[in-house]
């Protein structure tokens, strides 16, 4: 079984990593750093997703505007769309 550093820090045992020694005073700091890194990564992923959605909406809006500008309104009104 493979242990991650986070597993070792939480369990306070070295498991199959007996050569790893972590001082008790640095253990909470390392756990906090791992937690902060995960939250930052999740936040960045959420922001990237929101930006992708925003870009898609904007592109759709622009295409819709371009389509209406190139349409013949009289012909379009005969189709029942307007």
Average pLDDT per run of 10 along the chain, which is 82 residues long? 64 58 78 82 85 88 81 70 52
pTM score of the predicted model: 0.44
Domain boundaries, the chain: 5-78
**What pLDDT sits at residue 81?**
55
Q: What angle do CA 27, 31, 36 make, to 5 degrees?
A: 150
Model pLDDT, residue 1: 44
pLDDT of residue 42: 83
Residues in the chain: 82
């Amino acid at each position: 079984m493979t242990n991650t550093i986070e597993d070792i820090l939480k369990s306070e045992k070295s498991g199959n990593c007996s050569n790893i020694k972590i001082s008790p005073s640095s253990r909470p700091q390392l756990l906090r750093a791992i937690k902060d890194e995960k939250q930052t990564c999740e936040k960045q992923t959420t922001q990237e997703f929101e930006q992708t959605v925003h870009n898609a909406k904007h592109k759709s809006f622009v295409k819709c505007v371009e389509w209406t500008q190139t349409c013949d309104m009289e012909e379009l009104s005969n189709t029942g769309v307007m």
